[in-house]
């Protein structure tokens, strides 16, 4: 059974009250839209994804890149946006018997929920629902209200699964009537199966919801320690944090000998339980001879991101007697920010000496330490 996913992200986000449209608000390093897409991308039954966007939000959509994904413009209402997507499927003759329709404002569904929806959708439309536990009242006038029995009420959620031909025909026939979800159109066919939804799969409508979402999401925070030390010798360049530093002495190493970036790499790998720099970039391998450490760090960043990890903070100690690094600190931070693709306020650099003690104090070596904090949202 194959599905086309319709992911609705064309709302104007007026209720949310942010300069950044709601689908593109970030939790960790991923937008709300990305949190949904990354999960749907793991479902083998989904062969094509249509993301319905707001034309005014084009600059935010450039980073949406997933296999078999198409972006189309939405309409003024949810129903118009859904119909635009269904028409696109029809026009391009995609042979999908079923569609999944989902609101991008619900990023905290589980893979188990999607699989249960797909399994139950062979003969019916499938809608997740959750019971209402709060007391319900109906206002009659300013001071008069009625008690309502909550047992007969429930809330519905997305994703929702439908037969493509049936939902397309219903939307086409009822396009002049606004509906807040597709169930309200489909219920006339009496072919709807309700399954248990998920409490965590609530809709984000305001900032309080966003705060609650962060608490609900399975956030993993991991720390790693990186350490590196290099001899200082004549006739070698000195690189710190990817920046060339003026010095009579440089670091001796197989690569360019940048101890700051080497420590960052080890700290990141340690936090992700992915080994160390020597395992990945062996000093016995000739292709890494004199290679810039910026290249090595970029490769490690790509590696951890493929596993769903993101850098949350880097705290760096540079331990050397000379040269003084104060005037280079900001440039190093900007450099590391660019390589790691994280804000500069997530990087801290401190310069330390050993008060002329030991090999570092005698200007024969340089050492660096890094504590890397890594996050992952499951």
Domain extent listing, the chain: 3-216, 219-377
β-strands 69-73, 26-27: how paired? unpaired
Residues in the chain: 378
CA max distance for the chain = 88
Across the chain, mean pLDDT equals: 89
> Quick one: CA torsion of 200, 201, 204, 207, rounded to 10 degrees?
10
Span 73-78, average pLDDT = 90
Alpha carbons 239 and 260: distance in angstroms, whole number: 8
- How much of the chain, in percent, has pLDDT values that exceed 90? 60
The residue ranges of DSSP E strands in the chain, in sequence order, are 3-9, 26-27, 30-31, 46-53, 69-73, 98-103, 125-131, 136-139, 145-148, 154-156, 160-163, 192-196, 219-233, 238-240, 243-245, 250-251, 310-319, 347-352, 365-377
Tokens of 67: 């296999």
User: In terms of DSSP H, where are the helices of 120-182?
Assistant: 164-173
| Residue-level pLDDT at 358 | 94
Distance of CA 154 to the CA centre of its chain: 31
- Residue 112: predicted pLDDT: 95
Whether the pLDDT of residue 147 is over 60: the answer is yes
User: 325-371 pLDDT, tens per residue?
Assistant: 999 999 999 999 999 988 899 999 999 999 999 999 999 999 999 99
pLDDT score at 94: 86
The CA distance from 318 to 260, in Å, is 7
Per-residue model confidence (pLDDT) at position 296:
95
Its pTM stands at 0.64
Q: pLDDT for 171-189, tens place per residue?
A: 888 766 555 666 666 666 5
pLDDT of residue 188: 61
Alpha helices in the chain (DSSP H): 32-40, 78-91, 111-119, 164-173, 183-186, 207-216, 259-271, 277-280, 293-305, 329-340, 358-361
Place of tokens 């219903």: 170
Architecture of domain 3-216: Alpha-Beta Complex (3.90)
The CATH class that applies to domain 219-377 reads alpha beta
Q: Is pLDDT at 65 greater than 90 in this prediction?
A: no
Predicted local confidence at residue 174, as pLDDT: 76
What one-character DSSP code corresponds to residue 140? Answer: S
> What value does the CA radius of gyration of the chain take, rounded to a whole number of Å?
27
Across 142-149, average pLDDT: 75
Task: Indicate if the pLDDT at residue 88 is higher than 80.
Answer: yes
Q: What is the pLDDT of residues 251-298, one digit of tens each?
A: 998 999 999 999 999 999 999 999 999 999 988 888 888 899 999 999
- Report pLDDT digits (tens) over 197-255: 999 899 998 888 888 887 777 678 899 999 999 999 999 999 999 999 999 999 998 99
Q: Distance between CA atoms of 28 and 44, rounded to whole angstroms?
A: 26
């Amino acid at each position: 059974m194959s599905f086309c996913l319709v992911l609705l992200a064309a709302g104007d986000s007026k209720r949310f009250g942010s300069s950044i449209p709601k689908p593109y608000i970030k939790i960790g390093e991923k937008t709300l839209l990305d949190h949904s897409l990354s999960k749907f991308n793991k479902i083998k039954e989904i062969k094509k994804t249509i993301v319905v966007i707001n034309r005014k939000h084009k600059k935010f959509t450039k980073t949406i890149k997933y296999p078999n994904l198409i972006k189309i413009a939405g309409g003024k209402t949810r129903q118009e946006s859904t119909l635009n997507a269904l028409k696109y499927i029809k026009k391009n003759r995609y042979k999908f018997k079923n569609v999944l329709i989902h609101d991008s404002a619900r990023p905290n569904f589980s893979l188990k929920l999607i699989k249960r929806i797909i399994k139950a959708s062979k003969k019916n439309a499938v809608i997740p629902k959750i019971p209402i536990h709060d007391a319900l009242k109906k206002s009659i006038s300013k001071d008069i209200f009625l008690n309502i029995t909550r047992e007969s009420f429930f809330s519905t959620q997305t994703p929702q699964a439908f037969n493509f031909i049936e939902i397309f025909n219903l939307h086409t026939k009822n396009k002049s009537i606004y509906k807040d979800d597709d169930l309200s159109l489909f219920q006339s066919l009496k072919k709807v199966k309700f399954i248990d939804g998920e409490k965590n799969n609530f809709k984000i409508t305001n900032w309080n919801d966003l705060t609650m979402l962060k608490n609900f999401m399975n956030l993993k925070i991991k720390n790693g320690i990186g350490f590196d030390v290099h001899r200082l010798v004549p006739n070698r360049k000195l690189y710190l944090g990817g920046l060339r530093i003026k010095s009579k002495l440089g670091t001796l190493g197989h690569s360019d000998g940048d101890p700051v970036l080497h420590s960052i790499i080890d700290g990141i790998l340690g936090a992700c339980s992915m080994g160390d720099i020597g395992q990945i970039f062996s000093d016995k391998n000739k292709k890494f001879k004199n290679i810039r450490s910026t290249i090595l760090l970029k490769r490690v960043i790509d590696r951890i991101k493929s596993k769903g990890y993101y850098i949350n903070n880097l705290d760096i100690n540079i331990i050397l007697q000379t040269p003084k690094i104060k005037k280079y600190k900001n440039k190093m931070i900007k450099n590391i920010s660019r390589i790691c693709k994280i804000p500069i306020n997530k990087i801290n650099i401190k310069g330390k000496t050993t008060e002329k003690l030991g090999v570092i104090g005698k200007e024969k070596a340089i050492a660096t330490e890094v504590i890397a904090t890594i996050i992952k949202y499951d």
